[in-house]
C-alpha cells in the first residue's frame, strides 16, 4: 500500500509498504479522508510540536475517516478517534482519558497517523457514521470534538456572549457550536478577511480584525472568549474582551511552546483560564448529532482535496492559509 512519511521538516516522501494486519482487538480500515490540522503543519514546518520532536519517519494525520475493510462490518463508514489511551492510569479510570500521559496519538511521536491507504485501529475507537454523514464530515469530527470540548470548558450559561479569536476550521466550528448551544452574541476575530466572512456566514454577529477589536475594546464585556490562534496577541485579545470574572479558554498551540500575557490584565479581571487538551469521551457522538441535525456544517469547510501522492502540495496550500480545510484522500 502507499504511505506518506515525514522524514524531516518539509520532507514528505511517498513509500510502498506492506498493509497492516489487524490484531484481535483491532479493525482494518481503508482510509478515505484525512484533514490537515494546525498541529500537522507544526510537524511539517518544524519537525515537531511542543516538546515532541521527530525521531523517525512519521505518518502524519489525525483527522481520519474511512471504511471498514473486512469482517462482519465491512463497508461501514467510520470516523477514527485518533487517541489511544492506556486505560490503566488514574486519569483514564476517572474519565479524563484526554489527559492520559501515556496516550498514543495518531500522527504524533511514535504513533503513525492517517496518511496511508490502510490503518489497523482499536475497534472501540471507531465511530460508525449514519447514512446522511459522509466520510469527509467524519474526518471533521475530530476538530469538531475539540470545539465541543473547548465550549464545555467555557462553562457558558444560556444566552452567553462570547468571542472566538482565530477563525480557522476549529474556530469556525466553535462559532457554530456556540450558536447551537444558545450563545446570543458571537464576536469572531481573525486577520484574514475570508475567514471573517465565513464566521459571519456561520453565525457570528460581528467579525473584526484584531486591529479593529483593539480600537473598539471599551465596547466589549463578554462572558467568555476562546483563543484558537496559537499566539500571545490572540491570548491577550481574548482576555481583553471578556468582562471581569469571565472565562478564557486557550485552544491554540504556540510554535515556541510558550504562552505569555499581561498578568495584571488577567489578575485585575479575576479571569478563569482553562486550556484545551484534545477532547473528552462523548464528543464524537455529540458531534454526530450536531451534523445530523444540520446545526453544524462541516462539509463546506473543505476548500481543497488532494490525492495521497500530492500530499506535499496539500501541506503547502494549507500553510498559505488562502482557504479553510485542506483534505487528503488516500484511497477514495
Cα R_g (the chain), whole angstroms: 19
CA of residue 165 relative to chain centroid, distance:
15
Q: Judging by DSSP bridges, how do beta strands 26-35 and 63-68 pair with one another? A: antiparallel
Residues 131 and 155 both lie in one domain: no
CATH number of the domain encompassing residue 77: 3.90.180.10
- What are the cell numbers at 97? 482519558
Residues 200 and 85 both lie in one domain: no
Q: Judging by DSSP bridges, how do beta strands 242-250 and 118-122 pair with one another? A: unpaired
Residues 9 and 128 both lie in one domain: yes
8 lies in some domain:
yes
Bridge partners (DSSP) listed for residue 187 = 163, 206
**Residue range(s) defining the domain that contains residue 203:** 145-275
Residues 112 and 10 both lie in one domain: yes
Residues 271 and 197 both lie in one domain: yes
- Rounded to a whole number of angstroms, the distance between the first and last alpha carbons of the chain is 13
Q: What's this model's pTM, rounded to 2 decimal places?
A: 0.94
pLDDT at 273: 97
How many structural domains is the chain composed of?
Answer: 2
Alpha carbon separation from 132 to 109, 241, 292 (Å, rounded) = 34, 39, 7
pLDDT at 32: 98
- Mean pLDDT per block of 10 residues along the chain (332 residues) reads 97 96 96 95 89 91 97 95 94 92 92 97 97 95 97 94 97 98 97 97 97 94 97 97 97 90 96 94 92 95 97 96 96 78
C-beta neighbour count of 266 within 10 angstroms: 17
- Least Cα distance to 205 among 227, 220, 192 occurs for 220
Residues 66 and 99 both lie in one domain: yes
Exposed/middle/buried for residue 244 (C-beta within 10 Å: 0-12, 13-18, 19+):
exposed
Residues 178 and 246 both lie in one domain: yes
178 lies in some domain:
yes
255 lies in some domain:
yes
Residues 133 and 162 both lie in one domain: no
CATH number of the domain encompassing residue 155: 3.40.50.720
pLDDT at 332: 65
Q: How many alpha carbons lie under 13 Å from residue 75 in its C-beta half-sphere?
A: 2
Whole-number Å distance between alpha carbons of 149 and 155: 10
Residues 39 and 113 both lie in one domain: yes
CA of residue 163 relative to chain centroid, distance:
18
Residues 54 and 89 both lie in one domain: yes
Strands (E), 69-217: 77-80, 83-84, 104-105, 118-122, 126-128, 161-165, 185-189, 206-208
Residues 229 and 313 both lie in one domain: no
For 72, residues 6+ apart whose C-beta sits below 8 A from its C-beta are none
Alpha carbon separation from 223 to 23, 252, 314 (Å, rounded) = 48, 19, 38
Helix (H) or strand (E) holding 175: helix 169-180
Exposed/middle/buried for residue 140 (C-beta within 10 Å: 0-12, 13-18, 19+):
buried
Whole-number Å distance between alpha carbons of 8 and 309: 17
Q: Cell 489511544 appears where?
A: 84
Residues 95 and 158 both lie in one domain: no
Whole-number Å distance between alpha carbons of 280 and 298: 20
Whole-number Å distance between alpha carbons of 107 and 61: 5
CA of residue 52 relative to chain centroid, distance:
18
Return the sign of the alpha-carbon dihedral for residues 215, 221, 222, 224: positive
pLDDT at 49: 84
Q: Are 328 and 34 in contact (CB under 8 A)?
A: yes
Amino acid at each position: 500500500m502507499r504511505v506518506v512519511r515525514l522524514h524531516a521538516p518539509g520532507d514528505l516522501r511517498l513509500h510502498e509498504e506492506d498493509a497492516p494486519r489487524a490484531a484481535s482487538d483491532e479493525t482494518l480500515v481503508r482510509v478515505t479522508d484525512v484533514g490537515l490540522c494546525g498541529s500537522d503543519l507544526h510537524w511539517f514546518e518544524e519537525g515537531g510540536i511542543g516538546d515532541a520532536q521527530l525521531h523517525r519517519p512519521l505518518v502524519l494525520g489525525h483527522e481520519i475517516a474511512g471504511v471498514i475493510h473486512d469482517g462482519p462490518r465491512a463497508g461501514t463508514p467510520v470516523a477514527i478517534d485518533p487517541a489511544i489511551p492506556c486505560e490503566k492510569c488514574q486519569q483514564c479510570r476517572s474519565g479524563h482519558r484526554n489527559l492520559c500521559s501515556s496516550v498514543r496519538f495518531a500522527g504524533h511521536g511514535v504513533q503513525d497517523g492517517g496518511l496511508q491507504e490502510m490503518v489497523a485501529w482499536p475497534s472501540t475507537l471507531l465511530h460508525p457514521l449514519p447514512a446522511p454523514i459522509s466520510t469527509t464530515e467524519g474526518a471533521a469530527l475530530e476538530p469538531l470534538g475539540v470545539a465541543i470540548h473547548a465550549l464545555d470548558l467555557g462553562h457558558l450559561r444560556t444566552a452567553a456572549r462570547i468571542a472566538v479569536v482565530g477563525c480557522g476550521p476549529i474556530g469556525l466550528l466553535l462559532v457554530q457550536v456556540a450558536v447551537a448551544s444558545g450563545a446570543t452574541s458571537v464576536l469572531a476575530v481573525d486577520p484574514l478577511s475570508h475567514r471573517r466572512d465565513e464566521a459571519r456566514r456561520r453565525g457570528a454577529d460581528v467579525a473584526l480584525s484584531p486591529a479593529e477589536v483593539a480600537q473598539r475594546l471599551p465596547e466589549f464585556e463578554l462572558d467568555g472568549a476562546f483563543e484558537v490562534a496559537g499566539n500571545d496577541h490572540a491570548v491577550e485579545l481574548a482576555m481583553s474582551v471578556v468582562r471581569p470574572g469571565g472565562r478564557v479558554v486557550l485552544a491554540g498551540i504556540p510554535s515556541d511552546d510558550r504562552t505569555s500575557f499581561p498578568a495584571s490584565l488577567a489578575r485585575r479581571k479575576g479571569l478563569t483560564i482553562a486550556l484545551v487538551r484534545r477532547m473528552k469521551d462523548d464528543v464524537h457522538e455529540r458531534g454526530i448529532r450536531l451534523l445530523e441535525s444540520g446545526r453544524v456544517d462541516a462539509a463546506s469547510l473543505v476548500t481543497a482535496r488532494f490525492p495521497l501522492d500530492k500530499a506535499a502540495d496539500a501541506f503547502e496550500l494549507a500553510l498559505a492559509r488562502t482557504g479553510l480545510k485542506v483534505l487528503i484522500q488516500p484511497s477514495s
